[in-house]
């Protein structure tokens, strides 16, 4: 049996910033933002969102769960693709409105487009051209083979 995860009420700034109470702040949609990095490389793989249930399941199971804003469902990452994220460490920030997962992923691929990271393009800074530059040269898998006819989650 897993001990049930409970969230504490947010009472004071000192409690939230300097204390040991887990007292996450969910936004008006009931979500908290989550940064997920690859434990081996430190690379940011994705930014996702969790509702209360997703955060509790992530904590209790040690596998990343998100709230899919495009599909409006609890999303056990990897349930379709097999690319389950094993959580090595879960951190929360000063005001407890953001979480950071350090994860292990099988096959080193995470992004639904087929790349390792969702952040496969850079924006040149400073003067000159700011069109995007690809930082990953090839896809790690073929999304059509993995996801079939499932709708693309990107919303314009």
Minimum CB distance to a second copy smaller for 17 or for 73 = 17
Q: Does 148 bind a second copy (CB under 8 A)?
A: no
The sign of the CA dihedral 23, 1, 81, 42 is: positive
- Is position 97 annotated in a ligand binding site? yes
Candidates 85, 18, 12; CA nearest to 48 is 85
Q: Check residue 47 for interaction with a second copy (CB under 8 A).
A: yes
d(CA 148, CA 150): 6
The reply, when asked if residue 93 is annotated as ligand binding, is yes
CB-side neighbour CA atoms (13 Å) of 100: 11
Residues 11-40 that bind a second copy (CB under 8 A): 11-13, 16-22, 25, 33, 35, 37
How distant, in Å, are the alpha carbons of 47, 68, 138 from that of 34?
6, 12, 26
Size of the site for a second copy (CB under 8 A): 67
Annotated binding-site positions: 93, 95, 97
**Residues in touch with a second copy (CB under 8 A):** 1-3, 5-6, 10-13, 16-22, 25, 33, 35, 37, 41-44, 46-47, 58-62, 87, 89-95, 98-100, 111-113, 115, 118-123, 125-133, 135, 152-156
């Amino acid at each position: 049996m897993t001990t049930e995860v409970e969230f504490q009420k947010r009472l004071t700034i000192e409690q939230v910033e300097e204390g040991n109470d887990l007292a996450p702040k969910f936004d008006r949609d009931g979500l908290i933002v989550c940064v997920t990095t690859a434990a081996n490389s430190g690379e940011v793989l994705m930014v996702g969102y969790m509702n209360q249930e997703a955060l509790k399941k992530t904590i209790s199971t040690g596998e990343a769960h998100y709230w899919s804003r495009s599909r409006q469902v609890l999303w056990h990452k990897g349930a379709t693709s097999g690319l389950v994220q094993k959580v090595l460490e879960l951190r929360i920030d000063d005001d407890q409105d953001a979480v950071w997962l350090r994860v292990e992923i099988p096959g080193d691929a995470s992004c639904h487009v087929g790349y390792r990271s969702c952040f496969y393009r850079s924006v040149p800074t400073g003067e000159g051209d700011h069109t995007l530059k690809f930082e990953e040269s090839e896809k790690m898998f073929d999304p059509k083979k993995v996801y079939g006819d499932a709708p693309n989650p990107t919303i314009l």
